[in-house]
Each structure stands twice: as structure tokens, then as C-alpha cells.
Structure 1
Amino acid sequence: MMACSFKEDKSWDDLDELTEAFNKWLKRKDKDYTYWTFAPVFREDNELDFAWIGGWSSGAMFGKSWDNWFDDDDDVGKLFNETADCVNNLASVTTVRAPADGWPEAGVTWFSRCTLEDGVSLRDAAAAHGAMGSAMADMGSPAASWLFLPALGFGDVEFDYYHVESWDDFATLGAGFDAYFNQGGWMKANELMDGVTQCASPNLYRYKLRRDGDR
């Protein structure tokens, strides 16, 4: 996970050039890696120009990828440093509801910081989020969702995990708002989530799938 700000005079066009170069490196060195870029739409500050999130199918593939990168990045790292300043973190991801039809090329995602109530386990929270996701799907608003658990580089964070949800487009997200506020979704949330976890107001992004790795 990287939170990035463009260098002076750099833009999304330069990021496109960077991802094109990086994809060429991945084709030779790391066919497993999948990644997305995220453009902020609604968030609490304006310091972030874009986010970059990628992942591997296993910890072993993660380690192999980094070994390959440090061995020879083919100057893609230099291009990255010329394009943006980024803060790099590693999270472990638990899938709550997988995308129904694989990864769309683009869509809408939100990230919400969540804190477990006293005596509640992460397993309990995952079950509650899963039940809420099923309830929303029954109301006609399906969403994929995950728990992102801080692992490396986060420091002493004041939350336990990110709850991440994704929709194919804003229309689908808007239908979810209708279901939540007008069809009883908020009452279901009170029933399922109270006493389990407290989640902050989400930050919303448009995402673009830059590469779907060979798994």
C-alpha cells in the first residue's frame, strides 16, 4: 500500500508512463503481482494525489518479488522516484466477500478505519461484516469487501483494521445508499455491528486495475 503525492510538474499522464514501464518489468520478473491505482474523490484531507495498492498470491511470492526488485529494477525505481513521493506500508488482507465476476477494469472503493470493541476478535468482526454484506446484497446492493490488517510500516496506529468495500461504478454505490438509508440497511447495521466494531466515515476513491497477475 502506497500513499503518494506527485512530484512538481508530474501528473496522471506521467503515472501512466510509469505503470507501462513497471508492467514490462513485471512481465519479465513477477507475473504474480496484481495492482491498482486509486484517485481520491471524498476524503478528510487533500495531501494524497493517488494511492497504489498491489498484492501477491502468497507470502513466498511477495518475498520473491522484492528479491527480484532489489536485484535489478531495470531503472523503473528511478522513474518512480522522479514521478512521485510515496509512503509505503504492508497490510495482510482477509477477504470477506470476493468480487462476483473477477476484477472489473475500474470502479469505486472506500476505506474505513475500524476499531474492535473490548473482548471482540477479528473473527467476530469479519463475520459481522460478512453478514452485513449479505444483507445489503439481499437488498440489491452487492459489494466486494475485505479487511486490511496493518503489518509493516504503519507505526502505532489507533485503529485495528481497514474495512474496504468495492463497487463496479457510482450508480451501484448510489443504489447501496438507497438500500442503507431507505430500505432498512442502517437498522441491520445496528443489529449486526453494535458491540462488535466501530468504523469511521470512509474515504472514497475511483480505482483503475493496472495489471491482473497470472495466478
Structure 2
Amino acid sequence: MKINLGSVVLSAGVFSLFGLPAQADHHMEMQFAPSELMTCAYKEGKDSDDLRKLTNAFTKWVKKNDPGYTYYVLSPNWHEDASGWDFAWIGNWGSGSDMGKGYDAWMEDDDDVGPMFEDVMECNYSLSAVTPIYGEDGDGPWERGVVWFSRCDIEDGAGLGDAVGAHRAMSSAMAEMGQSSVSWAFLPTLGFGDTEFDYYHVQAWPSYSQLGMGFDNYFNKGGWKVQADAQEDTVSCASPNMYTFRLVHAAN
């Protein structure tokens, strides 16, 4: 379907886990920020030690030239097919303007870090427009944790605001059971090709213990009923792919 953005009422705290803007109060419309997604494979003879050297050099460049950039490295855990790549990279800015300034600085002078990327890995690149769904005051930035990406389709007659509301209802119910998590909608923007879904529902937890609590709450304490009621005639999502994430650098 064609996504109808419209407007939506959100209540949210500090969505700083992935360096994205917070919704300051519950009367604001949805706000979006850019996020680049990369799935990467090591070149022959390269490994995590080479990636560490690269990220050290790139972080030094970012601190000087792109202060609004935050990035994470993700390792696939439960995943339908990660055979073609070794790790993922998520980078975020607080605004499109910040992204543009960062890319201009990179194009002007990468301080010889660019060739390191070409030497260490081969990646597929895409850009998403991201809006917060749910979080608690003070959440993030978590240095490590677990995150899932689930492909979602908005039902005919519903809009993105309805879908976000359904996810919020589910997250609120799980939070009342003691689970700590934050979540966003990642809308395909550039480099995705002909997508067969409307957006990614992305949800993160600070630990596998919190994820495990969510498992119990969902299957044994009625979470699935809340989800079924909230998402009925609104949105349907595929089984998520799960990753372990590690913060490499947080924006200044």
C-alpha cells in the first residue's frame, strides 16, 4: 500500500539509543531523521581486528568533521539468512541537514579513511527515514544490547499513524509488565529498490535478560492478546530478525 503519513500523537522520552530526535511532548507530529544501513562482508584475509582499526580511524574523523553522527555495529543472531554478510552498520544523524553536512565533509576530505573501507569490507548501502515509536525517559544510549528488525505492512484503509499507535499500545502494555525497550519505524527511502513492505518495526533492549522477560510477557502473560487487538485491521509484521549491537561512537 502507499503509506499515508498524516499526523500522529506521540508520547516519548529520550530516543537517544540510535542518536535520533526525541518527541518533546505528546502533541507533536511525527518527526523523522535519516539513518544509513549497511550490511557488510569482510574482504578476503580481513576480520574483526581490521574492522576495529577502521572504526578507530573513522571515529577520529567523525569527531572532527561530523559531530552529529552516531553509529553501531550489529552481529546477526537469530536471522532468516545472513549467509552473504558478516556484520551490519547503522549510522544516524539528528536531521537531514546534519547528514548533508557530514557527507559534504566526507566528500571534501576523508583524511585517507575512505580507502580503509574499500580495503576491509564490501557493503550494501541504504537510507531510511526514522521516527520514534516508544521509549522511557533516560533510555539510551546503551553501549550494548539486542535489537530486532521486522518488516511490516500497513493494512488497506489504515495509515502510518495507526500503525505507530498499534505498536505503542503493545509497547506500553509490555512496559507495565516491567520490560525496558525502545522502538522506531524505519521507512525505506534510498537504495532499497522495489520493496515489498512498508517499513521496519525496530525494537531494542539493553540486554538479553530484558528480551527474555519480553518473551515471557508475550507468550505467558497475555502480550500476544494485546498485540492481536492493537494491530487488528491496522498492520501485520513478519517474524523479526535479531541482532546483537555495540555502540562504536555517540554524537557529541
Whether the TM-score (by the shorter chain) exceeds 0.5 is yes
Residue 3 of structure 1 is aligned with which of 39, 60, 66?
39
The answer (yes or no) to whether the contact 1:40–1:48 under 8 Å persists in 2 is no
What is the aligned counterpart of 1:42 among 69, 78, 85?
78
Which amino acid in structure 1 is aligned with residue 234 of structure 2? V
TM-superposed CA distance for 1:67, in Å, is: 0.5
CA distance in 2, matches of 1:42, 1:9: 26
- Point out the structure with the larger helix share: 1
Q: Is the 8 A contact 2:180 2:206 kept in 1?
A: no
Question: Helix, strand or coil: the match of 2:67?
Answer: coil
Q: Confirm whether residue 30 of structure 1 aligns to residue 58 of structure 2.
A: no
Residue 193 (structure 1) aligns with: 231
Structure 1 residue 48, shift from structure 2 partner: 2.3
Q: Measure, in 1, the Cα distance between the counterparts of 2:49 and 2:176.
A: 40
Q: Which residue of 2 aligns with 1:146?
A: 184
TM-score normalised by structure 1 residue count = 0.97
1:52-102 CA distance string (max 9 Å, x none) = 011111111100000011111111111011111001100010001136432
Identify unmatched segments of 5+ residues in structure 1.
none
1:96 matched to which residue of 2? Answer: 133
Find the counterpart in structure 2 of residue 13 from structure 1.
49
How far apart are the structure 1 equivalents of 2:154 and 2:139? 31
* Aligned partner (choices 75, 85, 103) of residue 112 of structure 2: 75
> 2:217 aligns to what?
179
Aligned with residue 117 of structure 1, among 155, 163, 168: 155
1:146-165 aligned within 5 A: 146-165=184-203
User: Secondary structure of the equivalent of 2:77?
Assistant: strand
The count of aligned residue pairs is 214
CA contact 1:107–1:169 (8 Å) conserved in 2: yes
Equivalents in 1 of 2:122, 2:129: separation in Å? 23
- 1:2/1:89 contact within 8 Å kept: yes
Q: SS at 1:20's partner residue?
A: helix
Give aligned-pair identity as a percent: 50
The residue aligned with 2:98 is 61
Matched, 1:211 2:249: yes
Q: 2:76, 2:140 → 1: CA distance?
A: 23
Partner Cα separation in structure 1 for residue 155 and residue 223 of structure 2: 21
Distance 1:36 1:52 in 2: 6
Which amino acid counterpart does residue 167 of structure 2 have in structure 1?
H
What is the TM-score of this pair, normalised by structure 2?
0.83
CA distance in 2 between counterparts of 1:144 and 1:87 reads: 26
User: Cα RMSD between the aligned structures?
Assistant: 0.9
2:146 to 81, 93, 108: 108
What is the deviation of 1:31? 0.9
